[in-house]
Chain A
Amino acid sequence: AQTVTQSQPEMSVQEAETVTLSCTYDTSESDYYLFWYKQPPSRQMILVIRQEAYKQQNATENRFSVNFQKAAKSFSLKISDSQLGDAAMYFCAYSGGGADGLTFGKGTHLIIQP
């Protein structure tokens, strides 16, 4: 079974600074998908960014980018120019594709200091 590990229960960063959230996963598959979801206090899950394992290029979405290291099974999220609205729980998730649901890590609580 696949597992997703987020080793940072909580991270704190100053507004406008850069922060990196860590995620590692375990799978025997060669083709899969990785995601970062954001869950603010409203509890609505919001997709931040996704990465297909067959793509070598790291995904970017505006201030959000990932560092995908397939051999190391590592998938970190970098948030640049942090904003107060970025404060939330961030979940790393894995999908094997097809009819698979998502396997989530335990989450990282991101605090933005004004």
Chain B
Amino acid sequence: NAGVTQTPKFRVLKTGQSMTLLCAQDMNHEYMYWYRQDPGMGLRLIHYSVGEGTTAKGEVPDGYNVSRLKKQNFLLGLESAAPSQTSVYFCASSYGQTNSYEQYFGPGTRLTVT
């Protein structure tokens, strides 16, 4: 099992450009999450999904959109990138509500917006 994978690993964008980050998991998990991690800020939840076809806003959703068309995939989109979105983005998944305390993380995507 690959666990949680993220594509791409690194990306540099110019202000105003758009991109999509892909997260895939092969553990049949119901819940999936997108976090951003900035120095001294810990992990902040952007959006999450409690099942195929569902999405919900997290702590810092502005400037991002998500989709969960298939259970195994969770996409994070930036429509018009800004320098404030320079960060490391982590995708995670968990079995479900009762196991949400144990999340499995992908390797991360390092995004720089110039």
A and B assemble together: no
